Amino acid sequence: MGGGVGLLAFMKERLMSPAHVIDIKGIRELKELKYTSGIGLSIGACVTLAEVAQSDAVRQHYTALQEAVSRAADPMIRGRATLVGNLCEAIPWVDSPPALIALGGVVRVNGPRGEREVDLGNFIKGPVDIELQPDELVTHLVLSESPPSRRSTFQKFSAGSEFSVASVAASVVLGRRREVRLVYGGVSSTPLRSLEAEKVVAEGEVSEAMIQKAAHVASRSVQCVSDVLASADYRRHLVQVLTTKALKRVFER
Ligand SMILES: Cc1cc2nc3c(=O)[nH]c(=O)nc-3n(C[C@H](O)[C@H](O)[C@H](O)COP(=O)(O)OP(=O)(O)OC[C@H]3O[C@@H](n4cnc5c(N)ncnc54)[C@H](O)[C@@H]3O)c2cc1C
């Protein structure tokens, strides 16, 4: 248990009945959020969403993550829930996974067989299913050093509840060869990239027409699902709107 926000809700609904619950909040080594130039950002498993949102280093170098966590849930939940818990919960509507995957890095895992690292892009395997053995613990997230020319943003649509009906995290490293990641949350059982839309942004001249084309391609290529929150058609529309907003924001800075 990190913050316990998700775990206790699942336990109250009898969706999880663990024989033992181990509260890791008191482990001092897991409370550190540290940015090291040339290496990146290390976030311990007990760092809360509020602490991430308030960090100057996160605001300066990892804008998409700052925007994702500062709009998640409400101030009370942000003060208790951890970023690692938000990722490990792996429910489709949470906000940090698309931002973390767009920014890139690793999940540091520890257990009886020692330490290992899992690429953030491979960590969520399915809804409530992560690349972690039952006897292992996530100790840190480590985001790669952010190049100075990177622009990133997170946009979501939540229709009244806090959870995302659809979201996008966009990261663009400007330069002669643009590096682009567009990662969608809330639209399917796991976060999804649109490699097709990324190609349009990486190769096209920056213009209104390019942004519209990328948004159109994203809405065609991202496999959206229907559920109690929204239909797949509506989500495809949101993908188009949110991609347009995100790319305009990235290129206007
Ligand atoms: C009313 C409400 C509104 C919400 N709105 C939003 C929202 O808008 N956006 C959003 O993103 N989220 C939202 N949430 C979800 C909430 O943010 C998550 O439940 C929370 O971030 C989970 O973090 P936690 O630290 O409380 O995790 P916990 O509840 O402690 O754990 C969640 C799961 O992760 C596992 N876990 C935790 N830490 C570790 C670790 N170090 N290693 C391995 N496994 C671990 C636990 O075993 C458990 O299975 C909302 C929740 C509620 C109740």
The CATH number linked to 47 is 3.30.465.10
CA of 23 to the centre of ligand 1 (A): 13
- Summarize the confidence of residues 25-31 as an average pLDDT: 95
The CATH number linked to 167 is 3.30.390.50
Indicate the number of domains in the chain. 2
Rg of the chain in Å (alpha carbons): 18
Confidence band for 251, pLDDT divided at 50, 70 and 90: very high
Which tens digits make up the pLDDT trace of 202-222? Answer: 999 999 999 999 999 999 999
Instruction: Indicate whether 108 and 163 sit together in one domain.
Output: no
DSSP 141-155: EEEEPPPTTEEEEEE
Instruction: Indicate whether 131 and 46 sit together in one domain.
Output: yes
Is 69 within 8 Å of 141 (Cβ atoms)?
no
Percentage above 90 pLDDT, the chain: 94
Instruction: Indicate whether 97 and 186 sit together in one domain.
Output: no
CA of 71 to the centre of ligand 1 (A): 14
Average pLDDT, the chain: 96
> Among 10, 89, 124, which is best to mutate for testing ligand 1, by the most ligand atoms less than 8 A from CB?
89
The pLDDT score that the predictor gives to residue 155 is 98
> Among 8, 16, 82, 91, which is best to mutate for testing ligand 1, by the most ligand atoms less than 8 A from CB?
82
Which tens digits make up the pLDDT trace of 159-205? Answer: 766 789 999 999 999 998 899 999 999 999 999 999 999 999 999 99
Which of 144, 177, 192 represents a domain boundary (last residue)?
A: 144
Q: How far is CA 121 from the centre of its chain?
A: 10
The pLDDT score that the predictor gives to residue 253 is 64
Whole-prediction pTM: 0.97
Is 137 a pocket residue for ligand 1 (Cβ < 6 Å)?
Answer: yes
The pLDDT score that the predictor gives to residue 153 is 98
Q: Which domain holds residue 211?
A: 150-252
Which of 115, 144, 173 represents a domain boundary (last residue)?
A: 144
**Biggest CA-to-CA distance, the chain:** 57
CA dist list (Å): 172 to 102, 168, 188, 239: 9, 13, 23, 18
Instruction: Indicate whether 39 and 138 sit together in one domain.
Output: yes
Which tens digits make up the pLDDT trace of 78-137? Answer: 999 999 999 999 999 999 999 999 999 999 999 999 999 999 999 999 999 999 999 999
CA of 97 to the centre of ligand 1 (A): 12
Q: Which atom of ligand 1 is nearest to the CA of 82?
A: 25
Instruction: Indicate whether 119 and 154 sit together in one domain.
Output: no
Which of 144, 174, 197 represents a domain boundary (last residue)?
A: 144
Q: How far is CA 103 from the centre of its chain?
A: 9
Partner residues linked to 111 by β-bridges: 114
Instruction: Indicate whether 40 and 128 sit together in one domain.
Output: yes
The pLDDT score that the predictor gives to residue 68 is 97
Is 45 a pocket residue for ligand 1 (Cβ < 6 Å)?
Answer: yes
Instruction: Indicate whether 76 and 177 sit together in one domain.
Output: no
Confidence band for 26, pLDDT divided at 50, 70 and 90: very high
The pLDDT score that the predictor gives to residue 52 is 98
Using DSSP's 3-state secondary structure scheme, residue 17 falls into coil
Residue 4 lies in a domain: no
Instruction: Indicate whether 136 and 51 sit together in one domain.
Output: yes
